[in-house]
């Protein structure tokens, strides 16, 4: 298994742990409901999407009988997806408690990096599955 595929799976499992701890804390302290976006996206972009990236990078090329087209882009996607997610959620949290425009701009910028990482995955997967490669 490629290193970045395995790392996606390992990080995904860590996001599940973090998100579920935050979820149960939100039940206990209703004021933490202000961080519902953090909980839901630790889950949806962290746990769910990263598990899909990791498993997808490993099995989709094998199902189609072709190697992953751009392993280097997979590695870059691992870093951009994680830096984007953590940066977006950390600065969102800071913004909730200190609503200054600068924090909002930084959170949105990391969010844009997250979107970029999503498009790297889309491009790499479609290039692998759809484009015929010389063998």
Binding-site ranges for ligand HEM (CB under 6 A): 20, 23-24, 26-27, 36-37, 39-41, 43-45, 47-49, 111, 114-115
Q: Of 34, 26, 42, nearest to 88 (Cα)?
A: 42
Q: How far apart are CA 101 and CA 94, in angstroms?
A: 11
Residue 93 to residue 50: CA distance in whole angstroms: 21
CB of 133: closest distance to ligand HEM in angstroms?
A: 29
Q: Is 34 helix (H, G, I), strand (E, B) or coil?
A: helix
Between residues 4 and 15, which has the closer beta carbon with respect to ligand HEM?
A: 15
The least distance separating ligand HEM from the CB of residue 65, rounded to whole angstroms, comes to 28
Residues 6+ apart with CB under 8 A from 54: 5, 6, 7, 8, 9, 12
Q: Which is nearer to ligand HEM, 77 or 114 (CB)?
A: 114
CB of 114 to ligand HEM, least distance (A): 4
CB of 23 to ligand HEM, least distance (A): 3
């Amino acid at each position: 298994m490629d290193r970045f595929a395995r790392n996606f799976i390992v990080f995904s499992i860590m996001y599940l742990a973090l998100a579920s701890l935050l979820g149960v804390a939100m039940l206990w302290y209703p004021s933490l409901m202000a961080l519902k976006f953090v909980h839901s996206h630790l889950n949806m972009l962290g746990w769910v999407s990263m598990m899909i990236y990791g498993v997808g990078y490993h099995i989709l090329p094998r199902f189609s009988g072709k190697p992953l087209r751009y392993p280097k882009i997979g590695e870059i996607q691992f870093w951009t997806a994680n830096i984007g997610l953590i940066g977006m959620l950390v600065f969102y949290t800071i913004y909730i408690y200190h609503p200054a425009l600068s924090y909002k701009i930084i959170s949105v910028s990391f969010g844009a990096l997250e979107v970029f990482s999503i498009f790297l995955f889309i491009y790499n997967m479609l290039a692998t599955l759809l484009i015929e490669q010389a063998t």
